[in-house]
Amino acid sequence: AQSVSQHNHHVILSEAASLELGCNYSYGGTVNLFWYVQYPGQHLQLLLKYFSGDPLVKGIKGFEAEFIKSKFSFNLRKPSVQWSDTAEYFCAVNARTGNQFYFGTGTSLTVIP
Amino acid sequence: KAGVTQTPRYLIKTRGQQVTLSCSPISGHRSVSWYQQTPGQGLQFLFEYFSETQRNKGNFPGRFSGRQFSNSRSEMNVSTLELGDSALYLCASSLSQPGETQYFGPGTRLLVL
């Protein structure tokens, strides 16, 4: 079975600091990769996704993620965080042969003004 | 387009009761997936419906069941509720092909007393 690991459970940063959230998955086949964000009191929203092509993908609000196939990783980055980035971030993996998404346990990000 | 809608938004039930949750997908989306979200566990996949048929199933007991109607709306039922069923239940819809982006509703928060 597939699994997704998010190693950072809680991250606290000051505004303007750089962010990198780790995501590793276990699956030997071809996958689609996603990062979702859940702002306080809001529902899950798609931040960015990778299906194929350039392994560096850009999403909304200045986020980007890099797919490194050899490391089974899809880390999320942002060069300079803002207070409004305070949220919970979920990495998700989906095998292209099925429609079952596997989510990590999430990383709670708190940005201090 | 209207997003994914879920009703009701909040529910309080007692142990042993049963509950039915409803999800209306984005117009044109034919796949509906259900997830259970709890603190520390993240999102756990319950099942996915496509064209009124269960296409994928997670590792939940048979007390959790679902169905999909011809208009793609879906319901999820939990029978003989247990305290551990307290969670946020999320519905996500996507187009027909496996692996496509899932769009989430706001969830139904279920509290079992």
* pLDDT tens, position by position, A21-57: 999 999 878 889 999 999 998 989 999 999 999 999 9
How many CB atoms neighbour CB B8 within 10 A?
12
* Residue of B41, B44, B55 lying closest to A99 (CB–CB): B55
User: CA separation (Å) from A44 to B3, B4, B91?
Assistant: 12, 11, 10
Token code pair at residue B7 = 């009703």
> A27 phi and psi, to 5 degrees?
-170, 130
Measured from the Cβ of residue B108, the count of other Cβ atoms closer than 10 Å reads: 21
Q: Where does the pLDDT of residue A65 fall: very low under 50, low under 70, confident under 90, or very high at 90 and above?
A: very high
Cβ of A100 and B42 within 8 Å? no
**Amino acid A7: pLDDT:** 86
HSE, CB side, 13 Å, CA atoms: give it for residue B83: 1
Residue B75: its pLDDT value, please?
98
pLDDT at position B53 is 94
- Is the pLDDT at B93 greater than 80, yes or no? yes
Q: Within a 10 A sphere around the Cβ of A32, how many other Cβ atoms? A: 18
Q: What is the pLDDT of residues B65-88, one digit of tens each?
A: 999 999 999 999 999 999 999 999
Q: Name the nearest CA neighbour of B29 among B100, B95, B91.
A: B95
Which residue numbers of A have CB closer than 8 Å to B's CBs?
32, 34, 36, 42-46, 49, 51, 90, 92, 94-106
Q: Average pLDDT of B12-38?
A: 96
Residue whose C-alpha is closest to residue A39's, from B3, B8, B106: B106
* Alpha-carbon gap: B3 to the closest alpha carbon of chain A (Å): 11
* pLDDT tops 70 at residue B1: no
CB B54 within 8 A of CB B47: yes
